[in-house]
Chains A and B, each alone.
Chain A
């Protein structure tokens, strides 16, 4: 089966610009996660969707980050405006259902903010 797809793989922007990342989960997976991985750290959850509803966005900086999952399939994460500290790898993961099901990760998008 096809894995989790993400695009773009790399993005370089200047601070105060906006950027968007796209994720297509594994077919049939109801739960979708966005994680932020800063260099030298473990991934940290930004937002979790169950179908097209938000389950957890407690760690999402809502003044600049937004995410949507229309129709409960693919998802977009946006940053506007970007700050230097947003430089990180943004990982998308999906699982069949929330809870104890295995999460499958995409290759990530490496964002550099200059």
Chain B
């Protein structure tokens, strides 16, 4: 079945450092890919998405590219801020399976000043 694997955390970075959180997926069809973020004490929020191969999703300085050849959707940001501290979830959704989201286990990011 479909699945998502993301790098384990926690990830601790200094402010203005470069961020990469790795995400790979397994899917039988052509899924859409997502990054969700969960700030402390808040609900899940969509950060960015890509719906087909080679699409790049971007938002708030974060970006990720849908790589079909490597089945990856790595999250990157050039310069992190303390306010980016949160848990990040990679997820996929297959239209042919009703659109339910299949999530990775989450990666906790802590940014120190």
Contacts and interface: CB of A to CB of B under 8 A. Distances in A.
A108 B99 contact: no
A40 B38 CA distance: 12
Contacts, number: 60
A88 interface: no
Contacts of B98: 48, 50, 55-56, 98-99
Q: B interface, how many residues as a size bin?
A: 20 to 34
A55 to B, nearest CB: 5
B89 A42 contact: yes
Interface of A: 31, 33, 35, 40-45, 48, 50, 55-56, 91, 93, 95, 98-108
Nearest to A103: B101
B29 to A, nearest CB: 12
Contact of A102 (B42, B46, B89, B104): B46
A100 B103 contact: no
A17 B20 CA distance: 44
Given A41-B105, A41-B106, A42-B89, A101 B99 contact: yes
Interface of B: 4, 32, 42-46, 49, 51, 89, 91, 93, 95, 97-106
17 contacts: A31-B99, A33-B100, A42-B103, A42-B105, A48-B98, A48-B99, A55-B98, A56-B98, A91-B43, A93-B44, A98-B98, A99-B95, A100-B32, A100-B93, A105-B44, A105-B45, A107-B43
Nearest to B108: A40
Residue among A31, A35, A99, A106 with most chain B CB within 10 A: A99
Contacts of B51: 100
A42 B97 CA distance: 19
